[in-house]
C-alpha cells in the first residue's frame, strides 16, 4: 500500500501541474484577447464581438500554438497573438456553422443558443477574421521578425480558408445531406480539414514564432495534425463509433513519435494534449 | 467649325484613353485573380468561389489601388495583388450582404440572383477573405518589401473589419429597420464605412506599395476617401436625393485638391475616377 501511494500522488501532482499549465495558457490567451478588444462604442458592434468570441467552443489549437513555441525554446508571449488569432478564426467558423440560414442551420441538430439575430451572427464573424490578421500585423513580433509573422499569416490563411476549415465545413454539409450514409472515409476527411490542419497550423506557427528549426517546425506541424485528428474523431460527428478508438490509439502513437526529437519537461506537458 | 472640331476630338481621344486606362487595369486585376484561383478539384468549392468572385458588383477601389501606385512612380504589378485582395474582400462582403438568412436577406429589396444555396454563399466568402490575405503573404512584394506588405495587411484588415465595411453594413441594417426615417446623417456614416474607408485604404495601399512618401500616402488616402464617398452617395441607398448632388460637388473639389501635389499624365487619369 505504501508502495503505491507515492506513485499515485506523484501522478496526481503531475496531472495537476499539467492541468494548471494548460489553464494558465488558456488564461493568457483570454486575457490577450480581452485586452485587444475592449468593449467600447459602438457597443452594438463590440458586445456581439465579445460575446461570440468568448462563447464559442474552445479549441485545443490555440493553446497548442503556445506550447509548441515554448517547446522549441521560445517565450509564450511570442506566440500569444497567433494563438489569439487562431481562436478568432475558430470562433468565426463556429458561429457561421450555427448560423440560421433560410434553409435551416448548417449544422444539423445544433443546440447553440442564439443571443443575437442572424444578421448580427453573420456580420460579427466577418469582422473577427480580418481582426485576427490585424492583430498579427500589429504584434510586437511583426516589428522584430516580420518574416516570421508573414509566414504565420500565410499558414493561418491557408488553414482556415477554402482549402482548410471551410472545405471541411463544406464537405460536412454535402455529406450531412445524405443521412444514413455511413461514409467514415469522408468523416476522416472532414476531421483532417476542420481539426487536423488547424492544429497542424497551430503547431507550426508556434514553432516558427519560437524560432524553431525547419525540422522542429515540421515535427510540430505533424504532432498538431495528429492531435487535431484525435480531437475531431472523438468530438465530431459519429464520435462514439467503436472503430474510432483503434484509430485514435494509432494516432496517439504517431503523435508521440513526432515528439521524440524534443527534450525536457515541456515534452511531458505538450503530450498531455493527447489525453484531453 | 474647324476651330471646335480638334478640341472635341481631343476630348474624345482623352476620354477614350482614360477609359482604356481603367479598362486595362480592370483586365489586369481579373487576369491576376483568375491565375491565382484556377478552377480545379474540388470543383464543389472552386466553382462557387470563381462565380461569386467574378459576379459580385465591381468596386472602383481595386483599380484605384493600382492607379495610386502608378501615380507615386510604382509599377502596376507592385499593387495588383493588393488590388485583387481588395476585390476579394469586397466580393465577400457583397455576397454576405445578399445572403438569405432565416429572417430574410440583409439587404432590403435585393434582386441578386442566387446560383447557390445559402450555406454555399455563406461559406465561400468565408474562404475568400483569408485567401486574400494569403495572396498578399505569398506575393513577390512580400519577399522584396515585407514591411510594406505587412502595412498593407493591417490597412486592409482594418478597412474591411468590424470598424470598417462590417460596421457600415451593420449600421445599415439597424437603420434599414426604421423605414421611413430619413436619417441622412446615418447614411453618410454608412457611406464612410462601406465605401469611403475602403477606397481610402485602396489609395493608401497603392501609394505604400509604389514606394510613395508618407505625405503622398496620406494624400492618396484622402483622395480615395472622397472617391468612395461619392461612389457611396451616388450608388447607395437614397441615391437620387437632390441634396446629395451639392455634397458630391464639394467632395469632388476636395478630392482634386489632394491631387495638387502630384504631376504628370497620371494625375488626369486618376482624377477621371471622380466622373465615374
Give first-to-last CA distance, chain A, whole Å.
29
| Contact at CB, A103 and B119, closer than 8 angstroms | yes
| Contact at CB, B119 and A101, closer than 8 angstroms | yes
Of B96, B103, B160, the CB nearest to A117: B103
Least confident of A28-32, A51-55, A168-172, A199-203: A168-172
Q: Which residues from A are below 8 Å from B104, CB to CB? A: 102
Of B99, B138, B150, the CB nearest to A122: B99
Q: Averaged over A109-115, what is the pLDDT?
A: 79
Residue B5 pLDDT class (50, 70, 90 cuts): very low
Give the B window 173-192 contacts with A, CB below 8 Å. 173-174
B127 touches chain A (CB under 8 A): yes
B119 touches chain A (CB under 8 A): yes
Residue A122 pLDDT class (50, 70, 90 cuts): very high
Residue B95 pLDDT class (50, 70, 90 cuts): very high
Of A103, A117, A150, the CB nearest to B150: A150
Q: Averaged over B229-245, what is the pLDDT?
A: 84
Q: Which residues from A are below 8 Å from B171, CB to CB? A: 42
Of A89, A92, A119, the CB nearest to B103: A119
Of A101, A131, A166, the CB nearest to B101: A101
| Contact at CB, A103 and B120, closer than 8 angstroms | no
Nearest CA in chain A to B174: A44
Nearest CA-CA partner of B228 in B274, B177, B179, B176: B274
Residue A172 pLDDT class (50, 70, 90 cuts): confident
Of A100, A163, A170, the CB nearest to B102: A100
pLDDT at B11: 62
Cα–Cα distance between A70 and A203 in angstroms, integer? 11
Q: Which residues from A are below 8 Å from B205, CB to CB? A: none
pLDDT at A179: 54
Q: Averaged over B43-71, what is the pLDDT?
A: 95
Q: For residue B63, what is its C-alpha cell?
A: 483599380
Q: H-helix or E-strand containing A173?
A: helix A165-177
Most confident of A237-246, B168-177, B209-218: B209-218
Q: Which residues from B are below 8 Å from A120, CB to CB? A: 170
Task: Between A181 and B63, name the one with better pLDDT.
Answer: B63
Residue A45 pLDDT class (50, 70, 90 cuts): confident
pLDDT at B3: 42
Q: What is the dihedral of CA B120, B121, B122, B126, to 10 degrees?
A: 90
A140 touches chain B (CB under 8 A): no
The minimum CA-CA distance between A146 and chain B, rounded to whole Å, is 7
Alpha carbon B131 to chain centroid, angstroms: 17
Residue A5 pLDDT class (50, 70, 90 cuts): very low
Average pLDDT score over chain A: 89
Cα–Cα distance between A255 and A226 in angstroms, integer? 6
pLDDT at A84: 98
Model confidence, pTM: 0.90
Give first-to-last CA distance, chain B, whole Å.
30
Q: Averaged over B165-193, what is the pLDDT?
A: 80
Of A106, A134, A156, the CB nearest to B119: A106
Cα–Cα distance between B209 and B155 in angstroms, integer? 12
Q: Which residues from B are below 8 Å from A162, CB to CB? A: 45-46, 49, 124, 127-128, 130-131
Count Cβ neighbours within 10 Å for each residue of A101-140 and write b for 16 or more, e otherwise.
bbeebbbeeeebeeeeebbbbbbbbbbbbbbbbbbbbbbe
Least confident of A83-97, B5-19, B233-247: B5-19
A57 touches chain B (CB under 8 A): no
Least confident of B12-16, B121-125, B177-181: B177-181
A39 touches chain B (CB under 8 A): no
Nearest CA in chain B to A133: B157
A102 touches chain B (CB under 8 A): yes
pLDDT(A169) > 80 = yes
| Contact at CB, A134 and B106, closer than 8 angstroms | no
Residue owning grid cell 468570441: A53
Helices (H) and strands (E) in chain B, counts: 13, 2
Residue B61 contacts residue B194 (beta carbons within 8 Å): no
Nearest CA in chain B to A49: B162
| Contact at CB, A130 and B158, closer than 8 angstroms | yes
Q: For residue A52, what is its C-alpha cell?
A: 461570440
Most confident of A53-62, A94-103, A237-246: A53-62
Most confident of A146-155, B2-11, B13-22, B266-275: A146-155
Cα–Cα distance between A70 and A80 in angstroms, integer? 11
Percent of chain A with pLDDT over 90: 67
Of A102, A151, A156, the CB nearest to B100: A102
Q: What is the ipTM of this complex?
A: 0.87
Residue B241 pLDDT class (50, 70, 90 cuts): confident
Of B92, B119, B146, the CB nearest to A146: B146
Nearest CA in chain A to B167: A45
A127 touches chain B (CB under 8 A): yes
Give, as one character, the DSSP assignment of residue B263. Answer: -
pLDDT at B81: 98
| Contact at CB, B142 and A150, closer than 8 angstroms | yes
DSSP string, B159-206: HHSTTTHHHHHHHHHHHHHSTT---HHHHHHHHIIIIIHHHHHHHHHH
pLDDT(A3) > 50 = no
Q: Which residues from A are below 8 Å from B162, CB to CB? A: 45-46, 49, 124, 127-128, 130-131
Cα–Cα distance between B228 and B160 in angstroms, integer? 14
pLDDT(B107) > 70 = no
pLDDT at A148: 97
The minimum CA-CA distance between A223 and chain B, rounded to whole Å, is 24
Give, as one character, the DSSP assignment of residue B42. Answer: S
Cα–Cα distance between B141 and B137 in angstroms, integer? 9
* Interface test mutation site (partner B, options A119, A169, A205, max chain B beta carbons within 10 A): A119
Cα–Cα distance between B100 and A10 in angstroms, integer? 57
Cα–Cα distance between A134 and A59 in angstroms, integer? 21
Q: Which residues from A are below 8 Å from B89, CB to CB? A: 130
Task: Between A110 and B206, name the one with better pLDDT.
Answer: B206
pLDDT(B176) > 90 = no
Amino acid at each position: 500500500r505504501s508502495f503505491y501511494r507515492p506513485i499515485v500522488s506523484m501522478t496526481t501532482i503531475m496531472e495537476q501541474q499539467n492541468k494548471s499549465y494548460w489553464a494558465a495558457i488558456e488564461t493568457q490567451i483570454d486575457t490577450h484577447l480581452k485586452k485587444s478588444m475592449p468593449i467600447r462604442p459602438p457597443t452594438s458592434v463590440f458586445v456581439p464581438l465579445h460575446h461570440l468570441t468568448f462563447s464559442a467552443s474552445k479549441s485545443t489549437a490555440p493553446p497548442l500554438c503556445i506550447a509548441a513555441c515554448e517547446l522549441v525554446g521560445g517565450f509564450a508571449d511570442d506566440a500569444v497573438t497567433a494563438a489569439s488569432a487562431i481562436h478568432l478564426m475558430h470562433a468565426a467558423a463556429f458561429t457561421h456553422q450555427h448560423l440560421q440560414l433560410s434553409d435551416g442551420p448548417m449544422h444539423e441538430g445544433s443546440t447553440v443558443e442564439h443571443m443575437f439575430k442572424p444578421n448580427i451572427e453573420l456580420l460579427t464573424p466577418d469582422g473577427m477574421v480580418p481582426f485576427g490578421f490585424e492583430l498579427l500585423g500589429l504584434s510586437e513580433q511583426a516589428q522584430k521578425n516580420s518574416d516570421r509573422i508573414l509566414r504565420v499569416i500565410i499558414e493561418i490563411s491557408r488553414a482556415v480558408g477554402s482549402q482548410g476549415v471551410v472545405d471541411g465545413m463544406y464537405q460536412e454539409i454535402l455529406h450531412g445531406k445524405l443521412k444514413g450514409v455511413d461514409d467514415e472515409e469522408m468523416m476522416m476527411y472532414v476531421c483532417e480539414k476542420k481539426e487536423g490542419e488547424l492544429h497542424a497550423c497551430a503547431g507550426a506557427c508556434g514553432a516558427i514564432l519560437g524560432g524553431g528549426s525547419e525540422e522542429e517546425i515540421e515535427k510540430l506541424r505533424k504532432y498538431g495534425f495528429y492531435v487535431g485528428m484525435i480531437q475531431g474523431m472523438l468530438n465530431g460527428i459519429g464520435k462514439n463509433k467503436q472503430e474510432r478508438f483503434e484509430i485514435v490509439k494509432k494516432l496517439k502513437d504517431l503523435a508521440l513519435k513526432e515528439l521524440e526529437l524534443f527534450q525536457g519537461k515541456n515534452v511531458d506537458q505538450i503530450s498531455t494534449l493527447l489525453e484531453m
